[in-house]
């Protein structure tokens, strides 16, 4: 396995709704022949198809069930069952507890889960959940977003990428990101509310999390409507000395 195999492609990073040129949160993470769709925010299914067909995915991983991270699962379901896609097996789908029931209620008007499970092989996440997707190992930690929410570490034999999902700063994220090559961290908030009410990072928080974890590189994403990407990167750089980028839609970052 060579070291340049792990790649992050930003399908979208807008919050809390898609803009003209930026879908909501979604990423394609690839390593070798393995492709994982990480978060399925509004507009990301269209962008995903520039790179991979749904039936070529090895897994889908969903951080939490806010619509800006999961809404395109609804149309992916139609694609998987009622269109030109012919799945040889349901697509492995990892997400928060209750994800299958939530999809079933929206898509079938009943709690009957069987059509959902024809499209997706659902695995519910828990703190410390580990799964194998082809060449990649996926480790999930429960994080602090005021609802069931998870962060993700994707590893090959020698490279690692950590994605915060949506969360306030928390020890589980810092632990998960320990020594990672790339930390993809949200920077939603322009200012921090009281600690007990905080459910997102500020750019300074993203820099702090990257520094505390010993991440080699930081990519800020999910930059809220009251910040510009340039401000987010600049403010994060006051707390983290390593390279910092913004998760601009359409960008592919090799993890090296």
Element holding 245 (H helix, E strand): strand 244-246
Q: What is the DSSP letter of 250?
A: T
**In the complex, least distance from residue 51 CB atom to Zn ion, rounded to whole angstroms:** 24
CA nearest neighbour of 235 among 198, 194, 205: 205
CB of 167 to Zn ion, least distance (A): 9
Question: How far apart are the C-alpha atoms of 237 and 242, rounded to whole Å?
Answer: 8
Judged by CB, which is closer to Zn ion: 72, or 166?
A: 166
- Smallest gap, in angstroms, from Cβ of residue 221 to Zn ion? 12
* Contacts for 214 with CB less than 8 Å, ≥ 6 apart: 178, 179
Tell me whether strands 26-31 and 6-12 are parallel, antiparallel or unpaired: antiparallel
Give the nearer residue to Zn ion in terms of CB position, either 66 or 235. 66
Instruction: Fill in the DSSP letter of residue 246.
Output: E
Contact status, residue 192 vs residue 185, Cβ threshold 8 Å? no
Closer to Zn ion by CB, 166 or 208: give it. Answer: 166
* Chain centroid to CA 217: 17
In the complex, the smallest distance separating the C-beta of residue 172 from Zn ion, rounded to whole angstroms, is 16
Tell me the H-state helices in 153-228. Answer: 171-176, 203-213
State in angstroms the smallest separation of the CB of 170 from Zn ion: 14
* Choice between 166 and 181, CB closer to Zn ion: 166
Q: Site residues (CB under 5 A) for Zn ion?
A: 66, 166
Closest to Zn ion by CB, 58 vs 166, is 166
């Amino acid at each position: 396995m060579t070291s340049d195999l792990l790649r992050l492609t930003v399908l979208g990073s807008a919050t809390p709704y898609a803009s003209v040129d930026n879908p909501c949160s979604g990423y394609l993470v690839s390593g070798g022949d393995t492709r994982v769709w990480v978060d399925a925010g509004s507009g990301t299914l269209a962008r995903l198809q520039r790179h991979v067909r749904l039936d070529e995915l090895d897994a889908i991983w969903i951080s939490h069930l806010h619509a800006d991270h999961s809404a395109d699962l609804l149309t992916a379901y139609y694609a998987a069952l009622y269109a030109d896609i012919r799945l040889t097996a349901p697509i492995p789908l990892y997400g928060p507890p209750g994800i299958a029931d939530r999809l079933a209620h929206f898509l079938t008007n009943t709690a009957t889960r069987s059509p959902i499970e024809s499209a997706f092989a659902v695995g519910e996440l828990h703190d410390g959940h580990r799964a194998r997707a082809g060449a990649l190992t996926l480790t999930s930690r429960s994080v602090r977003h005021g609802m069931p929410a998870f962060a993700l570490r994707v590893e090959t034999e020698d490279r690692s990428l950590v994605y915060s999902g949506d969360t306030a700063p928390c020890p589980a994220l810092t632990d998960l990101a320990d020594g990672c090559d790339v930390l993809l961290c949200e920077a939603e908030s322009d200012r921090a509310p009281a600690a007990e009410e905080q459910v997102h990072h500020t750019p300074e928080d993203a820099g702090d999390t990257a520094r505390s974890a010993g991440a080699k590189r930081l990519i800020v994403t999910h930059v809220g409507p009251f910040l510009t990407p340039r401000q987010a990167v600049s403010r994060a750089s006051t707390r983290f000395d390593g390279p910092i980028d913004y998760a601009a839609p359409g960008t592919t970052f090799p993890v090296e």
